[in-house]
Amino acid sequence: MEKHCKACTSAFTVTMEDLAFQKKLSPVVGGKEMTIPEPTLCPDCRQQRRMSFRNDHHYYKNTCVFCKKNVISIYSPDKGLPILCHECFWSDQWSGLTYGQEWDASRTLKDQFAALKKTVPRLCIFNTQSENSDYTVHSSRNKNCYMCSSIIGNENIYFSDFIFDSSDSIDCFSCENMELCSGCIYSEDCYNGDWLNLCFNLTDAMFCIDCKGGNRLLGCVGKRNASDQILNESVTPEEFDSTRNRLLTDSSFRQEFKKKVDALRLTVPVPHIWQIGSENCRGNYLFHCKNVQHGFNAKYFEDCRYVYEGHKDTDCCDIMRCGSCEMLYDCTNGIDLKLSAFCNLAYQCDNMLYCDNCHSSSSCFGCFGLKKAKYCILNKQYTKEEYERIVPTIIEQMRTTGEYGEFFPTSISSFGYNESKAMEWYPLSKEEVLARGWQWSDYEQTLPQDIKGIDAKRLPENIADVPDDILTYVITPENGGKPFRLIPQELALYRKKGLPVPRLHPHDRLLALTNQQNPRALYARTCDKCQKTIETTYSLERPEKVYCEHCYLETVY
Ligand SMILES: [Zn+2]
Ligand SMILES: [Zn+2]
Ligand SMILES: [Zn+2]
């Protein structure tokens, strides 16, 4: 059925399958099904709303309100939120239940929840079971990692996003099992790879796109099990080594080479959709997925709809950045979260509704900052019987006001819109944000004034010529980009790999990398070879040769 989005007015479709799935995921409280109503926002506006609750890249110095220790936090100090260090947060010296409020039937959940979440202490930054990885967020089981988001099971990873089981790598996005890599996107199982896009099982490769299996490749596109090749042509080992060396030490040669790779890219067909090891899916950048509809950048998903950037999720609808989750509806930032709806940041929880910042809890409604809690409403403890009686009456009330079935509104996010992930995908001006009743952050950290500066263009081309004291300088990019400093472990990695020192701020490097992604839209067009109708993220205006799966496989194998 055709609907119009309440926020952006664009048309969107809710299918019978969507509705059946929604019914399956509708919460059950005390044996009663709390049927979720049809969505009122289009998939993009739903995604934008979830994204406004996530800050991936802005870290601040803040203070634990209990022990007064300095901490790294994703919340800026000007917000005045009660922040706790890890030790205080996990200690038994406090409980979120002491902040409990009585449900007030004359007010909306939004107003009551917004008031509650301002008072309850919260963890400064979400990372668990990690060592020397203070500057990692939404992350777990990492060692010696720095400035990363959504990374699990890694060691020595810097300035990267959405990385699993990798080591000694920098500036990567959506990669798994990588070692000694830099600037890679949508790649897996690579060793010593730099600037790889959709590459798998490569060793000693640079500037490659869509290559599988192989080693010693420079600027190759669409190759399978090849070795010693440059721009898809075989070369001698000596030619390979000298070209590789020039790529590492001569920036103008590197720029020219990149242009040649871009030209080659247009001669090699692309598949209409990037689905790797996946079956019966609709969406793009799907890895090892089964029965996923409208999915983008998902790994190991099964039976899901409207899903974005997640890892190992099953039976979920409308989720973003969730990991190891099951049976979720409209949730974000969940890990090991099950049978829940309309939640943000819940780890190891189940049967949660409208909860945020909760851990190891179950059967809670409208709660914030709880640990090991059960049968709570607005952080107030109830018996099982009371909980099962009251929650359905609250939901019925929320139905009449149109609150039930909607995720938390952006207006009550803990972040300025410009700090949130929504800004990356749905950029808005400060005026547009404020006009919507959302927040904007003007907070700026003061940088130390006595640090020496150096123009990026004055940096040596060859890493061998970069002195140790580069670490004491602030580097100013040529294009007026954000100034930045190198960290010692980063410099050591560049030296180990022979890589040139970067000329851009890490955040701008990551942004340049993620900008290589295709848009999250599916266009109808025909295969450039057999004219079969295909669905693709390559719009008609794109210059690539876009093939159906059959024609593509015929070409590359
Ligand atoms: Zn919309
Ligand atoms: Zn503390
Ligand atoms: Zn075809």
Say how many Å lie between the CA of residue 300 and the centre of ligand 3: 27
H/E stretch holding 262 reads helix 251-265
Say how many Å lie between the CA of residue 13 and the centre of ligand 3: 28
Note the pLDDT of residue 480: 81
- Whether the predicted pLDDT of 357 surpasses 80: yes
Share of the chain above pLDDT 70, in %: 99
Q: d(Cα 351, Cα 388) in Å, to the nearest integer?
A: 12
- Whether the predicted pLDDT of 510 surpasses 80: yes
Q: Could you identify the residue written with the tokens 């060396």?
A: 245
Residues 6+ away with beta carbon under 8 Å from 333: 53, 54, 126, 138, 320, 321, 322, 344, 345, 346
DSSP reduced 3-state for 88: helix
- Determine contact, residues 513/506, Cβ cutoff 8 Å: no
- Determine contact, residues 34/28, Cβ cutoff 8 Å: yes
Question: Tell me: the pLDDT tens digits for 88-143?
Answer: 999 999 999 999 999 999 999 999 999 999 999 999 999 889 999 999 999 999 99
Say how many Å lie between the CA of residue 454 and the centre of ligand 1: 45
> For residue 526, what are the β-bridge partners?
533
The pocket of ion ligand 2, defined by CB under 5 A, consists of 64, 66-67, 69, 85, 88
Alpha helices in 266-405 (DSSP H): 384-401
- Whether the predicted pLDDT of 449 surpasses 90: no
Q: Which ligand ends up closest to the CA of 71?
A: 2
Say how many Å lie between the CA of residue 156 and the centre of ligand 2: 26
Q: Which ligand ends up closest to the CA of 47?
A: 1
Question: Three-state secondary structure along 145-169?
Answer: CECEEEEECCEEEECCEEEECCEEE
Say how many Å lie between the CA of residue 11 and the centre of ligand 1: 8
Note the pLDDT of residue 481: 87
Q: d(Cα 304, Cα 302) in Å, to the nearest integer?
A: 6
pLDDT band at residue 545 using 50, 70 and 90 as cut-offs: very high
β-strands 212-218, 136-137: how paired?
Answer: unpaired
Question: Tell me: the pLDDT tens digits for 233-277?
Answer: 999 999 999 999 999 999 999 999 999 999 999 999 999 999 999
Say how many Å lie between the CA of residue 388 and the centre of ligand 2: 36
Query: What mean pLDDT do residues 8-28 have?
Result: 96
- Whether the predicted pLDDT of 444 surpasses 90: no
pLDDT band at residue 221 using 50, 70 and 90 as cut-offs: very high
Q: Which ligand ends up closest to the CA of 124?
A: 2
